[in-house]
Structure 1
Amino acid sequence: MERRTFIKSIGASSLWVGVGGLSSVSMKPATTKHITILHTNDTHSHIDPLPKNDPINPNKGGVARRAALIEKIRNENPYTLLFDAGDIFQGTPYFNFYGGELEFKLMSMLRYDAATLGNHDFDNGIEGIIAQLPHASFDFIISNYDMTNTLMNGHISPYKIYFSNGIKIGVFGLGVQLEGLVNKDKYGETVYLDPIEIAQEMENKLHKNERCDLIICLSHIGYDYRDNPNKVNDLKVAAQTSYIDLIIGGHTHTFLPHPTQVTNRAGKTTLVNQVGCYGINLGRVDFFFEEEKVAKNKSIVIEV
């Protein structure tokens, strides 16, 4: 069958809205293929809302509210995918007591499609991750960790491909350098590979070999490091690649009011987004595709 060509534009408007603002998403004509991407990062075992006396985000977040939002959005558009950019574990007594079982079970109930690994996901060691994998019904994607000589071998993928509404979506993952952040005995023989080199390899594979219509990177390397300009980050990955449409970031707990638009090596726009931490916000990016026509996207950060 001849492959159809979908063309998209990244010249999108962006919004920061509360729960009541969901209706502000404009819809394209029925002939347009619409894909919704939802995402979280650095939830850190926050199952309940933050306490009412929290000085910054009182009574915000909570898995129950997130579940209601996700269900509402899926009812609006059944062609919705849900991703997480790492650091699922560590931060509340739920992790101390259950070791990650509750987090994976709830993410499975919310029907996450995939997650990448953050440094705190190694806090109970690779054995701790393995012990909880039976509770996870979603994919784990990490491209720049060679875990061949660990127990994780066979349990992770460098990339995955998803099909939704006739659109082929390629997803790969990038993790932060574990040395200096995590004790060696926790990550064992995991080998860290250069994120930019791997990102270029993955995007070429997904664009040229797999011929994906949409390419997404789940990243836990951090948005930006102003105190260390030589350190690799999401903005650098975006600028030094050519085919990534969206980088879903984590690690630096960066609250972005809207995605950053970065001009990539091909002169096109790559969106970089991150929604803070602790499940306070839910990220949303809507992509619209038309055959042989330019379509646009909208992006939203939703307060939970």
Structure 2
Amino acid sequence: MTKQINVLTTTDIHGFIANMGEQPALAFEGLKEKYPHSLLMDSGDFFVGNPLTTFFCDQMTVSPLADYANAIGFDVMVPGNHDFDHGINYLKEQVKHLNADYVCCNAFSEEDELLFPPFAIKEINGIKVGVIGLVTSRMSMISDFPVTRGVIVKTALPELQKQVAVLRDQVDLILVGYHGGIERDLATHNEINYATGEDETFKLVSQTPGIDGFSCGHQHRVNHGQIGQTLIVQCGYRGNYYGHLTFEFDDYNKITQRKEEVVASETLPVKARSFYDEQEYQEWLSEELDLSQLVSFLQEKFARTNLGIFINLQGKTRKQVIDSFTIPYGVRIYHLTKSEYTTFSQQPWTLKEEHSPNDAQDFVVLTNSYDVPEYRLTEQFVDNIFDEYSYYLKQRG
């Protein structure tokens, strides 16, 4: 008799669970009921990623996102790089309140102990399923040092291979939840990203035999396909898509058919639900933010020799500061000639810090303004300046 299981995946929800059914992620409640014999997993960047999640961290010990995860019915969850943004202790506190297993095989303490179990084993419709968690190897490149203090993220490939070898004889199906992206086109296998080690789906799958399903994320892209016999899904951002892997088994629990798809969550009914007090959140947004350390924070974060800082803010409240940093590139670095710099620096800046020798002929500046010649752009950053600055203030009491 043929047996079937459904694997449902999400990633990069980033805490977008606005009340009153305004966010697509709220459509996931009831998803497991739609698909019988299912396992629901998330591939990271769940707890952090917008002002609402900063409010949760600032005002509450336990984020309402833990209640949301339990209401949705996640079975297994994996950390993303941003889930560490408020420190490992904050993340561990949230995990304590999850019904889901929280797994990651390559995140260790400074004492070389796993921060979370490397995998979970679930039984679905008589099929034993092993789920391995994995976070991008390049946390050190994309997270500030104070955030990852106490966390050592090891190279993904050998840690994954180790756990696949452990699970192979224990389960009928091996799944991986990876918070990292795809570096090659799934159809042509041509490179689409530089090989930085941040996004390694193709490398991980092609060099690790025995993986049946692989859910990735991190890049906020939508993809699906196969690498060999391994099904791959990548499900966008903010819950706008979910992955669906279907596996059929014979009487000996051997896979006979497999299929993958990515589905728009707008096809699901949204269930309005209140996870937090909206009035309290709006009052928090309208409070003035201490801006006295913003320049020193930016100097520490973007340590450069002779870096000038030029920031314009819409006002002093949290909401006004949030709105001052355009998504996705909140701040950028430009290299200007002397004449360009003279014109630029004379604008009416809210925050201004000049750092250049008197005889300088060229100038490097950090700004949130787009009123700069694009041909002088040297670097741009997707960092959430408001969120990181709030954490910076909190750490300093």
Shorter-chain TM band: 0.7 to 0.9
Distance in 2 separating the partners of 1:50 and 1:251? 27
Distance in 1 separating the partners of 2:196 and 2:81? 20
Contact 2:16 2:23 in 1 (8 A): no
Identity within the alignment, %: 28
Q: CA deviation at 1:130?
A: 2.5
- Could you tell me which runs of 5 or more consecutive residues in structure 1 were left unpaired when the two chains were aligned: 1-30, 52-58, 264-268
Look up the SS of the partner of 1:174 in the other structure.
strand
Q: 1:1-304 counterparts in 2 under 5 A?
A: 31-48=1-18, 61-63=24-26, 65-73=27-35, 77=36, 79-99=37-57, 101-147=63-109, 149=111, 156-176=116-136, 177-208=138-169, 210=170, 212-224=171-183, 226-229=192-195, 231=197, 233-256=200-223, 259-263=224-228, 269-292=229-252, 295-304=256-265
User: Normalised by the size of structure 1, how large is the TM-score?
Assistant: 0.76
Distance in 2 separating the partners of 1:66 and 1:234? 25
Distance in 1 separating the partners of 2:92 and 2:196? 34
Q: CA deviation at 1:287?
A: 0.7
- Could you tell me which runs of 5 or more consecutive residues in structure 2 were left unpaired when the two chains were aligned: 185-191, 266-397
Look up the SS of the partner of 1:274 in the other structure.
strand
Distance 1:238 1:106, change over 3 A: same
Look up the SS of the partner of 1:217 in the other structure.
strand
Contact 1:49 1:61 in 2 (8 A): no
Q: CA deviation at 1:186?
A: 1.7
One-letter code aligned to 2:44:
G
Distance 1:169 1:62, change over 3 A: closer
Distance in 1 separating the partners of 2:105 and 2:95? 18
Contact 1:50 1:62 in 2 (8 A): no
Q: CA deviation at 1:92?
A: 2.7
Judge which range, 86-95 or 287-296, deviates more.
Answer: 287-296
Contact 1:86 1:115 in 2 (8 A): yes
Contact 1:149 1:190 in 2 (8 A): no
Query: What does residue 25 of structure 1 align with?
Result: none
Look up the SS of the partner of 1:130 in the other structure.
helix
Look up the SS of the partner of 1:132 in the other structure.
helix
Distance 1:96 1:71, change over 3 A: same
Distance in 1 separating the partners of 2:260 and 2:193? 29
Distance 1:182 1:43, change over 3 A: same
Distance 1:185 1:149, change over 3 A: farther
Q: CA deviation at 1:278?
A: 0.5
Q: Which has the larger radius of gyration?
A: 2
Q: CA deviation at 1:148?
A: 6.2
Aligned residues, how many? 251
Distance in 1 separating the partners of 2:28 and 2:178? 21
Distance in 1 separating the partners of 2:153 and 2:63? 26
Look up the SS of the partner of 2:12 in the other structure.
coil
Judge which range, 182-191 or 215-224, deviates more.
Answer: 182-191
Distance in 1 separating the partners of 2:154 and 2:107? 6
Look up the SS of the partner of 1:186 in the other structure.
helix
Q: CA deviation at 1:83?
A: 0.2
Look up the SS of the partner of 1:38 in the other structure.
strand
Distance in 2 separating the partners of 1:296 and 1:121? 35
Structure showing greater relative contact order (alpha-carbon pairs closer than 8 Å, 6 or more residues apart): 1
Distance in 1 separating the partners of 2:208 and 2:31? 33
The one-character-per-residue Cα deviations of 1:221-251 (angstroms, maximum 9, x if unpaired) are: 2122734135351111111011000111011
Distance in 1 separating the partners of 2:72 and 2:181? 25
Q: CA deviation at 1:118?
A: 0.5
The one-character-per-residue Cα deviations of 1:122-175 (angstroms, maximum 9, x if unpaired) are: 11111221232343111110001123649xx68620111111111111111111
The one-character-per-residue Cα deviations of 1:190-232 (angstroms, maximum 9, x if unpaired) are: 2222211111111111113x2x110001101212273413535
One-letter code aligned to 1:188:
R
Distance in 1 separating the partners of 2:147 and 2:202? 29
Distance 1:136 1:223, change over 3 A: same
The one-character-per-residue Cα deviations of 1:4-28 (angstroms, maximum 9, x if unpaired) are: xxxxxxxxxxxxxxxxxxxxxxxxx
Distance in 2 separating the partners of 1:301 and 1:49? 25
Look up the SS of the partner of 2:139 in the other structure.
coil
Q: CA deviation at 1:110?
A: 1.2
RMSD over aligned CA atoms reads 2.3
Distance in 1 separating the partners of 2:255 and 2:97? 41
